[in-house]
Amino acid sequence: MAALHPLAEVKALAKAGAFELAIGSALNRVIPHLQNGTVAGARMFAMAVIEQLAATDDSETKILDDQTDPKRKRKVAHDEYGTKISTELARAQLDDAIKRTWYVKLTLRRGPTRNLYVLSLHCLERPLRREDRTTLIPCWKE
């Protein structure tokens, strides 16, 4: 099944900086692995990872509770990706070039301004079946 959110729009919003990283499962999990271990560094890395996503990296769409407004008890669709980033990106931004397999979970938010919410950005923890029927195997652990 193809991703719910159009990848071209996801990439455009990320490139424009119109995105937010969840603190626990994205920001706090990526910063320790960066050469530039800052929020700005995490945003740069997220932009680069999203830019490299391909439609074939998509795994599935999950319906989850809205993490940004738990009182409303609203459900939100998040697309889940497993990707292997380029060696060049790993060498340029990470503390170890072996850290190439990543898990990304994201959604598009509608409202007065449209933006991207990256719920997860961390090492791929388990094998993940993708849209192209391949299984991405983790190559490192946190």
Q: Is 105 exposed, middle or buried (0-12, 13-18, 19+ CB in 10 A)?
A: buried
The mean pLDDT value for 118-125 works out to 96
Q: Is residue 103 within 8 Å of 121, Cβ to Cβ?
A: yes
pLDDT tens by residue, 61-107 = 999 887 666 677 788 899 999 999 999 999 999 999 999 999 999 99
* pLDDT for 112: 83
Structure-model confidence comparison of residues 59 and 70, the more confident one? 59
pLDDT surpassing 70 at residue 32: yes
Domain locations in the chain? 7-136
Does this model's pTM top 0.85? My answer is yes
The mean pLDDT value for 49-57 works out to 97
